[in-house]
Chain A
Amino acid sequence: MDHRPFEDWLLDNQPLNHNQKRQLNTHLQTCSSCTAIAEVNLALKSAKLAAPAAGFSNRFQVRLAARKQELRRRNFWGFSLLSVSALGVLGWVSWPVLKGLVQSPVNMLASSVSSLVSFWASLQAIFRAGMVLFKVAPGFVPTYIWAVILFAAGAWSLVWVVSLVKLTKVPQGVKS
């Protein structure tokens, strides 16, 4: 009989009947390659579980506590940094208003009106520039560029929607 079926029986760990076992035993007496496979199978089947040193769960508790503390510390510093940054931005944004509060009411009113007028003038200028650009640009930009821009915008929107759907999916095993 050929070598192949014996090797496959051993490598696939197939269940054997009495006759097959007898044939295999006869083959093993002459085939070192199959004997090695049989020996490895036997060694694997008789292998024992390695156990950790005593006190594994106590060491885990210590590590868990350390990890939690580290997380708390990281959260604290993250929150502190965020708070300081937020306060800085808030101070910078509100500085003109705060400065106005220490001025006289007439000056404050004048500066508010002046700010409003300047804001309105800026809006109008931007709107006019936009209208001019809107009228002039189509003449300068070739049609295929518009197609590319529209396609890119569509793709970007698609990526955005897919990301939102993926991010908001309820995790496996968590009841909603």
Chain B
Amino acid sequence: MTDESTWIIQAQQGDEEAFTNLVETYQKPVYNLCYRMLGEAEAAEDAAQETFLKVYQNLARYDRERSFATWLLSIAAHYCIDRLRRRRFSSISIDEDEEGQTDIPDRSAPDPESETAKRQERERLSNCLQSLDPTDRAAVILRYWQDCSEVEIAQALKLTVPAVKSRLHRARRALADLWEDKPAHVRTERKPYGSPAF
């Protein structure tokens, strides 16, 4: 039996120290998911904390046959999706991007210029991400940041595997169009087969 399984069983029996171990193990992936979903450090901290509270309250319902990480990330993703839907009409500030939160330092960073370029690219990617539909965004984050398989994403977001594939396909298309700074109406169009432009 792994440490994680032991902690889960102990936490289900009311052992708070075991639950703290789970929080320490999963704080980074949960925070990262919330941060990439919500785009703000403060909101991400709050969402991550609320996710762990929900997990604490519902731990008795957790099915040990399932992956704990997938279950946990599923709760975090749905919490963020709900939150984004609630604040759909209010604007989100992306400019404060890195303030109040820290990316894991890149030890292989060769020089400050390259670091600045990477930082700009991260900000650009973050801006593009914020324009996606919340569920598509969650699928992209789970795929690339959490390294989840399409099956795990489907379980986490309560979708079918073909739906996940379709959402990832659509999201990559939308991100590429945003990356190119295309106007919104062009984004939705599918390139005709064998376009003369190419």
Nearest A residue to B35 by beta-carbon distance? A50
- Whether B100 sits at the interface, judged by CB under 8 Å, is yes
Chain B neighbourhood of A4, CB < 8 A = 191, 193-194
Q: Are B36 and A171 in contact (CB under 8 A)?
A: no
Number of contacting residues on A, CB 8 A?
40
Q: Do A12 and B165 contact each other (CB < 8 Å), given the known contacts A4-B191, A41-B172, A53-B102?
A: yes
Chain B neighbourhood of A21, CB < 8 A = none
Chain B neighbourhood of A49, CB < 8 A = 28-29, 32, 103-104, 145
Chain B neighbourhood of A40, CB < 8 A = 125, 128, 172, 175-176, 179
A-facing residues in B4-45 (Cβ within 8 Å): 20, 23-24, 27-29, 31-32, 35-36, 41, 44-45
Nearest A residue to B196 by beta-carbon distance? A3
Chain B neighbourhood of A31, CB < 8 A = 198
B-facing residues in A1-28 (Cβ within 8 Å): 2-4, 7, 10-13, 27
Shortest Cβ distance from residue B124 to the other chain A in the assembled complex, whole angstroms: 8
Q: Do A53 and B100 contact each other (CB < 8 Å), given the known contacts A10-B172, A171-B61?
A: yes
Binds B, one of A61-69, A83-91, A92-100, A109-117: A61-69
Q: Do A11 and B145 contact each other (CB < 8 Å), given the known contacts A43-B125, A49-B32?
A: no
Shortest Cβ distance from residue B33 to the other chain A in the assembled complex, whole angstroms: 9
- Whether A36 sits at the interface, judged by CB under 8 Å, is yes
Chain B neighbourhood of A61, CB < 8 A = 20
Q: Do A64 and B56 contact each other (CB < 8 Å), given the known contacts A52-B27, A56-B48, A171-B61?
A: yes
Q: What per-residue 1/0 map shows which CB atoms of B72-110 lie under 8 Å from chain A? A: 000000000000000000000000000011111010000
Shortest Cβ distance from residue B180 to the other chain A in the assembled complex, whole angstroms: 4
- Whether A30 sits at the interface, judged by CB under 8 Å, is yes
Q: Are B144 and A172 in contact (CB under 8 A)?
A: no
Size category, B interface: 35 or more
- Whether A135 sits at the interface, judged by CB under 8 Å, is no
Q: How many A-B residue pairs have CB under 8 A?
A: 131
Of the listed residues A2, A7, A12, the one surrounded by the most CB atoms of chain B closer than 10 A to its CB is A7
Nearest A residue to B20 by beta-carbon distance? A57
Q: Are B53 and A52 in contact (CB under 8 A)?
A: no
CA distance A64 to B22 in the complex (A): 14
CA distance A44 to B179 in the complex (A): 12
Q: What per-residue 1/0 map shows which CB atoms of B155-198 lie under 8 Å from chain A? A: 00000000001001100110111011000000000010111011
Contact of A36 among B102, B179, B194 (CB under 8 A): B179
Q: Are A12 and B61 in contact (CB under 8 A)?
A: no
Q: Are A64 and B53 in contact (CB under 8 A)?
A: yes
Contacts A51-B104, A57-B27 known; 12 new A-B pairs at CB < 8 A: A2-B194, A13-B172, A43-B121, A43-B122, A47-B122, A47-B144, A48-B103, A57-B23, A60-B20, A60-B23, A173-B60, A173-B63
8 shortest A-B CB distances, which residue pairs?
Answer: A173-B63, A3-B198, A37-B176, A52-B31, A36-B176, A44-B144, A2-B194, A36-B180
A-to-B contact residues, CB < 8 Å: 2-4, 7, 10-13, 27, 30-33, 36-37, 39-41, 43-45, 47-53, 56-57, 59-61, 63-64, 67, 171-174
A-B contact pairs, 17 of them (CB 8 A): A3-B197, A31-B198, A33-B191, A33-B198, A37-B176, A43-B122, A49-B29, A50-B103, A51-B32, A53-B41, A53-B100, A53-B102, A57-B23, A59-B49, A60-B52, A64-B53, A64-B56
